[in-house]
Amino acid sequence: MVRCSACGHGPLNSLLCPHCGAPQAVEVDCFAALGIPRKLVIDTRRLERIYHELSRKLHPDRFAARGVQLRDASLKSTALLTRAYRTLRDPVARGRYWLELLGEKLGDNNRVPPGLAATVFQVQEELEELREAHSTGAGRVAELVAGVAKCRKDLEVQLGKELAALEENFMRWDENGSQDRTPLIAALKERLSRIAYLKTLVRDVEHHLEEAAPA
Partner 1 sequence: MSRIFGIDLGTTNSLIAVMDGPHPRVVSDPASGAALLPSVVAILPAGGVAVGERAIEMEPHLMAEKDGTVAPAGLPGTDQGAVIRSVKRYMGLGGTDLAEGDRKRYVFTELDGPVVRFKIGERVYTPPQISAEILRALKTRAETALGESVERVVITVPAYFNDAQRQATRDAGRLAGLTVERLVNEPTAASLAYGLHKMAAGRVAVYDLGGGTFDISILTLREGIFEVVATNGDTHLGGDDIDHLILELMLEGLPDDVRNERRVWNSARQVAEDGKRRLSEQERVDLRLELPGRTVERVLTRDQLERLAEPLVERTLKCCRTALRDARLETGEIDAVVLVGGATRMPLVRRRVGELFGREPLCSLDPDQVVALGAAVQAGILMGDRDDLLLLDVVPLSLGIETMGGVTERLIHRNTTIPTSVTEMFTTAADSQTHVDIHVLQGERELARDCRSLARFKLGPIEPKPAGVPRIAVTFLIDANGILHVMANEEETGAGHMVEVKPSYGLTEEEIERMLEEAIDHGEDDIEQRLLIAARNDAEQILAALGKQLKEWGHLATDDECRRFSEVAARLEAVRKGEDRELIAGTVQELNDLSTPFAERIMDEAIRRTLEKRSVEDLP
In the complex, the residues that contact partner 1 under the rule CB under 8 A are 48, 52, 55-56, 59-62, 64-65, 75-76, 78-80, 82-83, 85-86
Query: Residue 156 CB, nearest distance to partner 1 (Å)?
Result: 13
On whether the CB atoms of residues 135 and 206 are closer than 8 A, the answer is no
Distance (Å, whole) CA 38 – CA 49: 18
Nearest to partner 1 of 175, 210 (CB atom)? 210
Nearest to partner 1 of 132, 156 (CB atom)? 156
Distance (Å, whole) CA 76 – CA 110: 36
Nearest to partner 1 of 46, 181 (CB atom)? 46
Query: Residue 112 CB, nearest distance to partner 1 (Å)?
Result: 22
Q: Among positive and negative, which fits the CA dihedral 177, 178, 183, 184?
A: positive
Distance (Å, whole) CA 106 – CA 188: 10
**CA 123 remoteness from chain centre:** 25
Query: Residue 82 CB, nearest distance to partner 1 (Å)?
Result: 5
Query: Residue 61 CB, nearest distance to partner 1 (Å)?
Result: 5
Nearest to partner 1 of 86, 181 (CB atom)? 86
